[in-house]
Structure formats: C-alpha cells, structure tokens
Amino acid sequence: MATPSEHLAAIELSLIASPVLAEYTLVRSWADVNDGYIRIRATLINGDFLEAAEYFVQRQSRFETADYRHQWMDNTKHSLRRRWDCTRDHPKLPNFPHHVHIGQEDNVQESKQIGLLELLRTLEELLDQK
C-alpha cells in the first residue's frame, strides 16, 4: 500500500511527464500519515496559466481528493477559462459540491471530483480539441 509521501511523488512524476505542462513550480506540498497536500503554478503548452491545489486523504488502500481548486487562465486576455472546485456555494447543482466555472464566474456547471492527476488528463483532452 502506498503512503501519502509516495502518492505525492507519483503526482510530481505525472507533472514532470505531462505533455500539457511547459513548466511548473511546486508552491507547497506536504504529507502526513494519512493525508497530504500539493499546490502548483504552471504554464501550459499554449502559454495559458494554471494554478492547482489538492488536499487528499488516504482511505484504506486508495487516495481520495477531499478538497481542491484548479484555475486555468487565458494567457492573452488574463480571463478565466475554467475553474474546478468543491466550495459549497452551488447546492442546487447535481453532484454538489463539485462544479466548474467556464469562461466567467457566473457560468457554473456541474462537475465531478477532480484531483490533479485527473486534471492533467482533462487538460490533455481540452487542449487537444483546440
């Protein structure tokens, strides 16, 4: 069974290997006995900016994203492309509290829980469509 430190190391390896990140800075990370946290700032391959943070907990033999906020900003207009978070401010949406802001703060849609590893896969799909 992996430890929180090993899980953090796996996330960092995925960041290094990700084809959508041009570069990233590890802002903060820590691991304890049953949980951990990671926050990064990154430049995407298209020049856009990403700030992502995840707090995870270990539940038996797997890790669960307990809290997160990932914000993707346009490089040229400095405007919001998407922000995924689980702030409890949109209780009427399906899959509450998970949601995504698309293009504007007030354009809020349902989403699923999304940790950093899933975020990288999602960005790969979204950037591939452009």
pLDDT of residue 71: 97
DSSP 80-102: EEEEEE--S--TTSTTTT-EEEE
pTM here? 0.93
Q: What does each of the 130 residues of the chain score in pLDDT, given as a tens digit?
A: 899 999 999 999 999 999 999 999 999 999 999 999 999 999 999 999 999 999 999 998 899 999 999 999 999 888 999 999 999 999 999 999 999 999 999 999 999 999 999 999 999 999 987 6
Cβ density class 77-111: b for 16+ within 10 Å, e for less:
eeebbbbbbbeeeeeeeeeeebbbbeeeeeebeeb
